[in-house]
Structure 1
Amino acid sequence: MNGLPNPPQTEPQSPGTGPETPHLPQSPGDPRTDPQSTGDPQTDPQSTGDPQTDPQSTGDPELDRAVELWLRWDRNPATRAQIQTLLDQNQVSELRSRLGSRLSFGTAGLRAKMGAGFNRINDLTVIQSTQGLCVHLTRCESALTQRGVVIGFDMRAQRESHCSSHRLAALAAAVFLSKQIPVFLFSSFVPTPLVPFAVLKFGAAAGIMITASHNHRQDNGYKVYSSCGAQISSSVDKQIISCISEHLCPWSASCWSLELSETSVLRTDPLQDVLRDYLRTVGRLCHHRSLNRSTGLRTVHSSFHGVGHTFVSQVFEVFGLNPPIPVPEQKDPDPDFPTVSVPNPEEGAPVLALSLSLADKIEAHLVLATDPDADRLAVAQKDQDSGQWRIFSGNEIAALLGWWMLLNYRNSQNQDLTQDQDQSVDLNQTLEQKVYMLATTVSSKILQSICSKEGLSYEETLPGFKWIGNRIHELHKSGHRVLFSFEESIGFLCDSPVPEKDGVSAAAVVAEMASFLHHHNLDLSRQLRNIYRTYGLHVSRTSYVVCHNPHTKNRIFCRLRDFDGSGFYPQTCGGRKILDVRDVSRGFDSRQRNQRAVLPVCSGHMITFWLQDDITATLRTSGTEPKIKIYVEIVSDQRDESELEAELQDVTASLLDEFLEPKKNHLIGQTL
């Protein structure tokens, strides 16, 4: 790779078996309507007609036009007032920040702060986005009026904007209903995985989930699923964005009607049918129900003030597991997230403090935490040897789940799986190549090592589960089976027909695995060591810095492509030689003969460095948060784990100091 020149510089765009009658969750009130305004132009005098705007000027004709359009189109009194107040106070910079750009699709759909503005999540931008989606579907789905769409939502809300996930879901439904398109609109909040499940169940043309997943409480989002149940691909989201830009003005008063989704004969509530079938489908992942019923393992579960606990409890019931014990302060849905500054279980010990404290108090063995929309899962267990709680990384959980899914697959194939109490199961058998495991390219290579040794097929995708989901769909169409998939940010999918990560089913699978190991006098930590002895030690770390300025992000990555004016990528990191470079955002890979990356070109920035001593390091901008993420992994079957951990920390520090320059670039909040 020495002397390797850079590809041309072109800036990427910044991303933006269960109970017959399931126990249904109840919404914590219905925040769709505000007591002061229904948002319906037929019942709210504040929202009728085209309001007469004050002929005030910001001094910027383009911005004046954006303000005029906002005040003309928006019929939510709260968000109209926000823009009018900024105009009255001549806060030009804030107006430009809110109105100067539009939402774009990132790795998980549209995601932004709630509030007034074309680049925020609010009534108007959801109506605009849904109109664009509706136009796109009309063009490519000839049976749209027969197939319909599925719409779900979580529990997020922002009082000052009269904005909530429930309200936004009702408005999205109104857009489709106004065009006589059937809508399967859930009557209560649901985990994100139930939306793609419903899309497949009903053969719907698309699905929408209103959620910001694990983002800060002020955020919300709009995730779109195609008819195959996977998130829309990048090529499709560009088509939808184009359709949105062509249909920015709300079509009719009906698009603002919150009542339409309650009164239309074209609206169906799918909750009971979907939940019943979902529980039966997930029940097929249970392989040791008798053992589960006899286990003494106790599990604490936190839903992080989100939607997960009711659903996790029901899946545990299907598996015959002891009911998960909720963290009382975090059990019920609460859009204020009062006990966590960031509702992201991936943050580890600080956000899991209440869960670990309760587990100590009641002498529980296992802690599970789902994020607010319950598509991701964090895992902790008290180590049998040290007596200390161990919080497992996403890569470590994936190593365990990959082993567990393969073990049970072979068991289902009637193969001998007898194991000694203190040894991991012998996996040295060859399987047909139609069994796959998938991972994102920034995740650990542990699945690659397992698949290589055991004769399975393995593939990588770009970061973001939408890439995994669409690849799963392609493999399923070709008759292949995807046994397990994951992304390092605690997103897992265990042998499901639905191509989306699922924290609810993963929680039950992990609990069953822990019960099985407990029965054999093992815990997760011991079994992880067994896995590493068999497939090589994989030590990894994911960290990040916060960067709110897109220009700073661009400058950092441009410098790496022309490192300190050399015309080349950096040749060393922390004194270690860099052997190869892949810059997916430029379609460049020095390992390939033609120097073209195999993975598709991505939006944002992502550069991978292969260093000496089997070290892989990747820097990438997040598609959902203002972060630059740092991924490092070292693989070895010769060296000691503590030695690798020390080197891992050193490499991470070198990447931070030499490549990201946190002081110079005012980067904050690094987690190392």
Structure 2
Amino acid sequence: MRYRDKYELWINSDEIDTATKEELKSVKDEKELEDRFYKELEFGTGGLRGIIGAGSNRMNIFTVGKATQGLAEYLLKTYGDEASASIAYDSRIMSKEFAETAALVLCANNVKVNLFESLRPTPMLSYTVRQLKSKAGIVITASHNPRQYNGYKVYGDDGGQVTDNAANEILECINDVDDFSKIKKISYNEAVNKGLLNIIGEEVDKSYIDRVKNLTIREELVEDKAKDLKIIYTPIHGSGNMPIRRVLRELGYDNVFVVKEQEQPDGNFPTASYPNPEDPKVFTLALDMAKEVKPDIIFGTDPDCDRIGVVVKDNTGAYKVLTGNQTGVLLTHYILASLKETNKLPNNGAVIKTIVTTEMAGKIAEGFNVQLIDVLTGFKYIGEKIKEFEETKSSRYLFGFEESYGYLAGNFVRDKDAVIAAALITEMTLYYKSKGMSLYDALINLYDKYGYYKESLVSIELQGKEGQEKIGKALEYLRHSMKSTINNVKIIKKMDYKLSVEKDLVNIEERTIKLPKSNVLKFVLEDGSWFVVRPSGTEPKMKVYLSCVGNSLKDMDEKLESFKNNIMEIINTACNL
């Protein structure tokens, strides 16, 4: 169906309210109208994500209602009378409204719902699904995207984001909802009176906080020294303020200073247009505060509190925002070393990372005789592995992380969790302080021992239908027309995750990649450097991940800069097809 025909269906539908129709009629730019209607807002393995507004390719109560009606039908088909769901939401614009829309559509379909009384972090939703034995979960968030976005993430009964097979089944059910009149409705009061809608809060909060505190490894150290640590924390206008401060307070960290200008939930993100702890600019206010507080550690969480960024002081006295990989290797080493020292390191331990995350983690795991497992990009695949370990007893999960600032210890949550990470980062900082070291000192020690690994990410924004077509063409160019050397260094491996083939270009051999299919390419070079190209699953971007290994801080910086320039020249050629 052409975008203009879809537009007319919305304008003429009895199900669409007057305000939405007026918004659509006010759009005079034909390109914008096309972008609003040229496709349905795609339901991928992570659910929905898009710009808030009217139209089939936008986040609004109608697209949320349609997705939820499809989810309800999937749950009833799969679980029958036992169908149930838990729902949480963050501080974004329309998050509460979308959460209530989803709850009432499910209730109208006789699916029992647990809805949080107010905003909560994404990982708490994952925990709640497991704790309350729900068959599914929904969290309304667009994570770290700019203010104009919102999203709708779906979780399975294990507390992990639904992966490919379940997502495809849910999508089939959503596609069957071909008219908004098929979306069932019920009022809030009727849902409560029928016992279909249960409002949850403190009882779940307390059990979650207790589980997080129980992940403390060096309990005596924390009990004796926590009060000595100074912490600056910013929730960046999101949902992390309550749970992170509560965990730290109950563990005995009395000196926690919160950035006041970023403390309150606000979906407009007035102090951070891109509310992402990967962006150093979000720490500007925290760094101003640091001049007076002189903290041992600074950290910040994104709006749904599943990512955390860390700021440390380097050996020149300057503050430095750690990369996700740097924080990840620090945590990996701290957890493994602490477990070994306290005789708690199991023989079958495993650390999990994604294919775009630093290979330094593998070196550290190897040093502790711990298995390192790679999965596709997306924390849902780490959650899937934890479930597999539980079922097969093949390995014991110790820690998982991805380069995009996501970390998880413990197995009671099945998504990246910045509350857990905050507690462990704080403990780790306290441990090194007790040894007369900063986190930066600890990082340099790891580089000296395991090698100087450095990574970078370049995101190329390609908006609209034309952008999506350009991303597709660029990947096909790289898949079929890539040269055999880069700056005279041989490419020795090519991994094509769409075709599930890994090619050894030295020995001219192939092997099957035993991971779900995904339109991702990875190239490994003879000197240990590598790069990965993939379309973003949640944003109109193509992402290029790069990594190099050097002999020193200066050497790794220079190598990565040269490598990045060479790769981006190739990527720009591919994008300009």
Alpha-carbon distance between aligned partners in 1 of 2:193 and 2:218, rounded to the nearest angstrom: 46
SS in 2 for 1:307: coil
Alpha-carbon distance between aligned partners in 2 of 1:189 and 1:109, rounded to the nearest angstrom: 19
Tell me the CA shift for residue 537 of structure 1.
2.9
Give the structure 2 partner of residue 67 of structure 1: 8
Give the structure 1 partner of residue 478 of structure 2: 560
Give the structure 2 partner of residue 493 of structure 1: 408
Instruction: State whether structure 2 residue 514 is matched by structure 1 residue 598.
Output: yes
Tell me the CA shift for residue 661 of structure 1.
3.8
SS in 2 for 1:379: strand
Question: How far does the alpha carbon of each residue in 1:390-424 deviate from its partner, in whole angstroms, 9 at most, with x for none?
Answer: 2111111011111121133234436xxxxxxxxxx
* Count of matched residue positions in the alignment of Structure 1 and Structure 2: 568
Alpha-carbon distance between aligned partners in 1 of 2:302 and 2:2, rounded to the nearest angstrom: 43
| Residues 1:198 and 1:300: Cα distance change in structure 2 (over 3 Å) | same
Instruction: State whether structure 2 residue 566 is matched by structure 1 residue 654.
Output: yes
Question: How far does the alpha carbon of each residue in 1:123-165 deviate from its partner, in whole angstroms, 9 at most, with x for none?
Answer: 00111000111111111114424xx2101111111xxxxxx11
SS in 2 for 1:277: helix
Question: How far does the alpha carbon of each residue in 1:250-291 deviate from its partner, in whole angstroms, 9 at most, with x for none?
Answer: 457862645555554221122111101001100111234443
When structure 1 is superposed on structure 2, of 449-458 and 297-306 the one drifting more is 449-458
| Residues 1:606 and 1:289: Cα distance change in structure 2 (over 3 Å) | same
| Residues 1:532 and 1:101: Cα distance change in structure 2 (over 3 Å) | same
Give the structure 1 partner of residue 319 of structure 2: 389
Alpha-carbon distance between aligned partners in 1 of 2:136 and 2:529, rounded to the nearest angstrom: 41
State whether residues 312 and 319 of structure 2, in contact with CA within 8 Å, keep that contact through their aligned partners in structure 1.
Answer: yes
Structure 1 counterpart of 2:240, one-letter code: G
Unaligned runs of 5+ in 2: none
194, 200, 214: which one aligns with 2:130: 200
State whether residues 607 and 618 of structure 1, in contact with CA within 8 Å, keep that contact through their aligned partners in structure 2.
Answer: yes
Give the structure 2 partner of residue 172 of structure 1: 102
Question: How far does the alpha carbon of each residue in 1:606-660 deviate from its partner, in whole angstroms, 9 at most, with x for none?
Answer: 2111112111111222111222222222236xx2231122011110111111222
Tell me the CA shift for residue 309 of structure 1.
1.1
Instruction: State whether structure 2 residue 51 is matched by structure 1 residue 137.
Output: no
Question: How far does the alpha carbon of each residue in 1:282-302 deviate from its partner, in whole angstroms, 9 at most, with x for none?
Answer: 011123444335342211111
| Residues 1:447 and 1:617: Cα distance change in structure 2 (over 3 Å) | same
Alpha-carbon distance between aligned partners in 1 of 2:332 and 2:553, rounded to the nearest angstrom: 21
Alpha-carbon distance between aligned partners in 2 of 1:324 and 1:583, rounded to the nearest angstrom: 46
With normalisation by structure 2, the TM-score equals 0.93
363, 367, 372: which one aligns with 1:458: 372
Give the structure 1 partner of residue 249 of structure 2: 317
Alignment of 1:325-364 (within 5 A): 325-348=257-280, 350-364=281-295
Alpha-carbon distance between aligned partners in 1 of 2:215 and 2:341, rounded to the nearest angstrom: 12
Alpha-carbon distance between aligned partners in 1 of 2:528 and 2:397, rounded to the nearest angstrom: 28
State whether residues 359 and 365 of structure 1, in contact with CA within 8 Å, keep that contact through their aligned partners in structure 2.
Answer: no
Alpha-carbon distance between aligned partners in 2 of 1:406 and 1:449, rounded to the nearest angstrom: 12
| Residues 1:472 and 1:660: Cα distance change in structure 2 (over 3 Å) | farther
Instruction: State whether structure 2 residue 483 is matched by structure 1 residue 570.
Output: yes
Tell me the CA shift for residue 507 of structure 1.
0.7
Alignment of 1:269-668 (within 5 A): 269-292=199-222, 293-294=224-225, 295-348=227-280, 350-383=281-314, 385-413=315-343, 431-433=346-348, 435-479=349-393, 480-548=395-463, 549-563=467-481, 569-591=482-504, 593-602=509-518, 605-635=519-549, 639-661=551-573, 664=576
CA RMSD between the two structures? 2.2
SS in 1 for 2:270: coil
SS in 2 for 1:193: helix
State whether residues 321 and 512 of structure 1, in contact with CA within 8 Å, keep that contact through their aligned partners in structure 2.
Answer: no
SS in 1 for 2:300: strand
Alpha-carbon distance between aligned partners in 2 of 1:318 and 1:73, rounded to the nearest angstrom: 53
Structure 1 counterpart of 2:85, one-letter code: V
State whether residues 177 and 264 of structure 1, in contact with CA within 8 Å, keep that contact through their aligned partners in structure 2.
Answer: no
Structure 2 counterpart of 1:657, one-letter code: E
SS in 1 for 2:178: coil
Alpha-carbon distance between aligned partners in 2 of 1:458 and 1:93, rounded to the nearest angstrom: 47
SS in 2 for 1:628: strand
Instruction: State whether structure 2 residue 16 is matched by structure 1 residue 100.
Output: no
Alpha-carbon distance between aligned partners in 1 of 2:262 and 2:13, rounded to the nearest angstrom: 41
| Residues 1:631 and 1:254: Cα distance change in structure 2 (over 3 Å) | closer
State whether residues 301 and 325 of structure 1, in contact with CA within 8 Å, keep that contact through their aligned partners in structure 2.
Answer: yes
Structure 2 counterpart of 1:150, one-letter code: S
State whether residues 177 and 260 of structure 1, in contact with CA within 8 Å, keep that contact through their aligned partners in structure 2.
Answer: no
| Residues 1:525 and 1:249: Cα distance change in structure 2 (over 3 Å) | same
Alpha-carbon distance between aligned partners in 2 of 1:531 and 1:219, rounded to the nearest angstrom: 38
Alpha-carbon distance between aligned partners in 2 of 1:243 and 1:395, rounded to the nearest angstrom: 38
**Higher Rg:** 1
Report % sequence identity.
Answer: 29
